Chains A and B, each alone.
Chain A
Amino acid sequence: MNAIYILWLRQVKRYFRSKSRIIGSLGQPFLFLVALSFGLGPIFQKAGGGNYMEFLAPGVIAMGILFTALFSGIEIIWDKQFGFLKETLVAPVTRIEIMIGRTLGGATISMIQGIIVLIIAAFIGFTFSYTDAVVTLAFMFLVAIIFTALGTAIASMLEDMQGFQLIMNFLVMPIFFFSGALFPLNDLPESLRLVTKFNPLSYGVDGLRGALVGSSNYGIGFDFMILAITSAVLLLIGGYLFSKIEI
């Protein structure tokens, strides 16, 4: 129990100490919010889509969480060779404790990142018409857990950072683009719609939209269930692969 806490604490401390990283990683969501909401907003409105900022903000919040969570998982590749991971692997604690501590730590900083994006969005003109703080945090947490666990699973299998670009372009960006974060999914061609149905982030974006502006496609109960099941499955897979790491 103490080991889980200390590993969680370590990641939170590291997050707050690297101010440049926080600011750096907020640049992208900020740019998306400003460029897209002012750029595409009027067209979206004319096409009868309603207020684009309301539509976009939950998507960009989900994006902020997705990126932070995946990277905190993928950091393990680096950590295997040059970091604290080795120190924890020879300590008298179980691998499962290490995995849980790291994942909770990664999920916590990803949620903080999501909350900061939410605050930024509010400054640029995002108005929450319907806000349930508890439900919002619950969705943020689930999205954060899912992608930290996914990052952990990937990192456990990779030897070095060379596959990183591959992961970015063929996994992270598609997950983001086909999640409904930027545009509505209803009018997509059938094949792409199928892709979005298998994308866990779709349910995260939808759930956040439900919690923040009160409009959701699938219903937040359904979103919640899908996300909870996905996070349980990914935690198991990530935990299994992590326990197999040999350094």
Chain B
Amino acid sequence: MPEESAIIKVVNLTKKFGDLEAVREISFEVERGSIFAFLGPNGAGKTTTIKMLTTLLKPTSGQILINGFNPLTQQDEVRRSFGIVFQDPSLDDELTAKENMEFHSVLYSIPASLKKHRIEELLKFTELWERKDDLVKNFSGGMRRRLEIARGLLHHPKILFLDEPTLGLDPQTRNHIWAYIKNLNQKEKITVFFTTHYIAEAEQSAGKVAIIDHGQIIERGTPEEIIAQAKAASLEDAFIAFTGKEIREEAADSKETMRSNRRAWRHR
């Protein structure tokens, strides 16, 4: 099978929650081996789109192809094609770094002969090897993120989804994590699809950018193209020019409450 140049293909994708259209007929392609930034204000439909791309949500209508597979009919093939780092933590705090990796390798049926080597390689790559036997609950935010990235790469995915991978991290750690991601993209040719609120990260790292607002893609192109089109000085200015200055109030849903409770709990 000749490899297509687009590794993610989305055509007229729509998701409705009751009356609310979270995502409205969006179409885009992501090139194999590229770094793609998916930007938008709060509640624009970013996370909903990622959930549909990663088989967590069923679209209301439209088509998706991930690495040539259909998430509705070829769920397992799609799932083996990507690794993901969620916006909220998804590590098991009561397990060690190594155990989290081992669990992942069992869930993805990685043969025992490869498992040991790959875990060591990835933990060394993310500079966590020394701490491999420590419980994750003793890890800092940046270490957790690195471990999540290492875990997402364990089954050698073609695509890495990162939903706000640097949220809540200090600039040093953010730089560090982006250095890993870029290195990975160059060396392993892994396609990276990420969302972020730090627009400067997208300007520095992404080859292509799409801006989504109110469930629709309003702008697409390289960072330079988008900046030029908005006649702005930076991608951040262009972003504000396209999406407006109005602050989006997300309905304070139960998840937000749980998130803030969790933070309070962890920093006791």
Contact = CB atoms under 8 A, between A and B. Distances in A.
Contacts of B76: 92
Contact of B94 (A17, A78, A86, A247): A17
B79 A92 contact: yes
B95 interface: yes
Contacts of B91: 84, 87
A6 B89 CA distance: 20
Interface in B38-76: 51, 54-57, 75-76
Contact of B258 (A2, A17, A160, A246): A160
A92 B95 contact: no
Contacts, number: 79
A89 B56 contact: yes
B104 interface: yes
A91 interface: yes
Interface in A66-86: 78, 81-86
Contact of A81 (B57, B75, B80, B258): B258
Interface residues on B, range: 20 to 34
Summarize A's interface: helix, strand, loop or mixed: helix
Contact of A2 (B57, B82, B106): B106
B173 to A, nearest CB: 20
Nearest to A16: B94
A8 to B, nearest CB: 11
Contacts of A85: 90
A155 to B, nearest CB: 13
Contact of A6 (B86, B107, B262): B107
A89 to B, nearest CB: 6
Given A3-B106, A6-B107, 10 more contacts: A6-B103, A17-B94, A82-B258, A84-B103, A89-B56, A90-B54, A90-B79, A91-B107, A92-B79, A246-B57
Interface of B: 51, 54-57, 75-76, 79-80, 82, 84, 86, 88-92, 94-95, 99, 103-104, 106-109, 135, 151, 254-255, 257-259, 262
24 contacts: A2-B106, A2-B109, A3-B106, A3-B107, A10-B92, A13-B94, A78-B258, A82-B89, A83-B89, A83-B92, A86-B88, A87-B91, A87-B107, A87-B151, A90-B54, A90-B55, A90-B79, A91-B79, A91-B107, A92-B76, A92-B108, A92-B109, A160-B255, A246-B56
